[in-house]
Amino acid sequence: MADKHVTHWIGGKPWTGAAARQGNIYDPATGQVAGVVDFAATAEVDDAVAAAKEAAKSWGRMSLTRRVAVLFAFRELVKSHTADLAALITSEHGKVAADAAGEVARGIEVVEFACGIPHLLKGGFSENVSTGVDSYSVRQPLGVVAGITPFNFPAMVPMWMFPLAIAAGNAFVLKPSEKDPSASVLLARLWAEAGLPDGVFNVVHGDKVAVDAILAHQDIAAVSFVGSTPIARYVYETGTRSGKRVQALGGAKNHMVVLPDADLDLAADAAVSAGFGSAGERCMAVSALVAVDPVGDELIAKISERVAKLTVGPGSDERSQMGPLVTGAHRDKVASYLDSGVAQGASLAIDGRRHPVSGAAANANGFWLGPSLLDHVTTDNTAYTDEIFGPVLSVIRARSYEEAVALVNGSPYGNGVAIFTNDGGAARRFVSECQIGMVGVNVPIPVPMAYYSFGGWKASLFGDTHVHGTEGVHFYTRGKVVTSRWLDPSHGGVNLGFPVNQLSPGGDPRTPDVSLSGHDGKNAIISCPLSETRISRATGTSRVRAPVAVPVPAAVPAAPRGVGGRRVGRLAGARRRRPGQLQG
């Protein structure tokens, strides 16, 4: 066993306690244990949340300029440590180095988007919504928020979450996958080096014990999650039951529809790239290829030619195009779909168990499974209904465009879909008709840029908001609307009436406000461009030269202050304004 030891990051430094439980970290290329990771108990989660809660008090009040300075510094540090992060990812996840570096680059895009937080948090302002009254909106941080992330993108998926959360003024608690935890700790160190105050970013490792502690903790206001649909549903239901805001991104069965007019070479390249990149361990991987008659046979032949030339080997070998799967148990589960798929009527066109592995002698115990393809898969085959999450591509034959769309929309998942065609009208129709959250047109993996939001529909998303983009900003903040008036010294008194925005004389918005222009000892004279009104102190009645009849109170001061233009109130009621009562 190697001596790698990964522990929590709490309050700006590594945790120094003794863990009651630990988990093994594997090198997927060799199958050997490479180190151990501490598993958090409820107490460690409590410590992390306490540190975050204390840090959030000052971080949320820190100026946007200061927060952005930290974000820019963090961005530069992550960029300069891309190779280090990629190496950690490759060693624990197994993906090839170029794919790992690409993951880090996509995460940096979200950091760059978060650097625009001064603009993203700008509210609205309306002057004089009522006379002398202004209204404006602001967005404020929630406090302590958490992220629970999967093994397949140990750097990118956390960076979908915490840059925006921290930029918005929150403190963050991350629970990464225990299978590949090292990247998250390096990111924590880079945050500290960038000048982030202690406690704003914390990492706790572990399993369901840590997850449940996060979901139940009353000081955590919101939880983001990415993972399988059953766990996403559990996180959403448990978190919301505890009063939290939750966005839980679940599983997928991403379809790629190939119409008869498509460029089949382009489609074959896309199917191989999207189906087998990162060993198929992507939530946006193409796992269901819908071939619309009559292109199926020719398309599969082109895919087979390309797969035969793929180099499968250790991610650290720059010649490798596809690495191993993350664990032996996961490899065995994925491989089992090849036999079960055939047993349920499919034909095994490409058997990845026979694909050669470079350096096989040194890596005989690695978690290997080469690219595989099942043809003539039916919609009731478990190879189609289950999210396999590995390098197994299922081909479904469709007789028409309409049948292909119905097949896509009939899936319980709604994460991503792609259509390959040279017909613009067909593509436009498909974009409108498919019930999927992210759509690609001649693009096999339609992952949005950071300034758009990522997320699916149906069983691929639990909650109301997607991650990053403007929806991410809204998820990590809450809105507040302020209505403000600085009172004139002559106004005061108590008014228990409901605050309303009353109009000018007669209820006509076209009629201007009135003002006190004089008095004759018995009557106060109120003038406006359309009328002159006399208010009797004795009777409380009014005489209006213009045809406007308005009731008035019985008492108006004989010598009211403000003669010569000071506003005295509305003719509709003619009472003086009280605190809490709006004037129009």
Catalytic positions, please? 283
Q: Strand, helix or coil at 395?
A: strand
CB-CB neighbours of 32 under 10 Å:
14
Torsion angles phi and psi, residue 420, rounded to 5: -115, 120
Task: Give me the count of residues in the chain.
Answer: 584
CB-CB neighbours of 380 under 10 Å:
9
* Interior angle at CA 109, CA 108 and CA 111, nearest 5: 60
Please tell me the distance from the alpha carbon of residue 63 to that of residue 403, in angstroms, as a whole number: 55
Please tell me the distance from the alpha carbon of residue 195 to that of residue 74, in angstroms, as a whole number: 8
Residues 181, 38 contacting (CB under 8 angstroms): no
Torsion angles phi and psi, residue 339, rounded to 5: -75, -45
Q: Please list, in sequence order, all residues whose beta carbon lies within 8 angstroms of the beta carbon of residue 453, skipping any fewer than 6 positions away.
A: 465, 466, 467, 468, 469, 470, 471, 472
Give DSSP secondary structure letters for 221-257. -EEEEES-HHHHHHHHHHHHHTT-EEEEE----EEEE
479: left (phi over 0), alpha (psi -120 to 50) or beta: beta
Give the CA diameter of the chain: 111
Amino acid at 261: D
Residues 177, 206 contacting (CB under 8 angstroms): no
Please tell me the distance from the alpha carbon of residue 9 to that of residue 11, in angstroms, as a whole number: 7
The H-or-E segment that residue 63 falls in is none
